[in-house]
Amino acid sequence: MNILVIADPGKCIGCRTCEVACVLAHAAPDAIHKLAAAHFIPRLKLIKTSKVSTPVQCRQCEDAPCAKVCPTRALVLNHNSVQVVQTRCIGCKSCVMACPYGAMEIVTRVAVLQERQPAAGGPLVEAYKCDLCIHRPQGPSCIDVCPTKAIYTIDAKVLSDNLRKKREQAAVAQM
pTM score: 0.80
Options 2.60.40.350, 3.60.15.10, 3.30.70.20, 2.40.30.170; CATH for 64-128 is 3.30.70.20
| Residue spans per domain, the chain | 1-57+130-175, 64-128
Domains 1-57+130-175 and 64-128 share a fold: yes
- For residue 108, which phi and psi values (nearest 5 degrees)? -110, 130
- Is residue 168 predicted with pLDDT exceeding 80? yes
Residues with Cβ < 8 Å from 112, sequence gap 6 or more? 118, 119
pLDDT value, residue 119: 53
> Could you tell me whether strands 45-48 and 105-114 are parallel, antiparallel, or unpaired per DSSP bridges?
unpaired
Give me the chain's average pLDDT, please: 87
pLDDT value, residue 26: 87
Top-confidence residue, 30 or 57: 57
Residues 46-83 have pLDDT tens digits of: 999 999 999 999 989 889 999 999 999 999 988 788 99
pLDDT value, residue 71: 96
Range 1-57+130-175 has CATH code 3.30.70.20:
yes
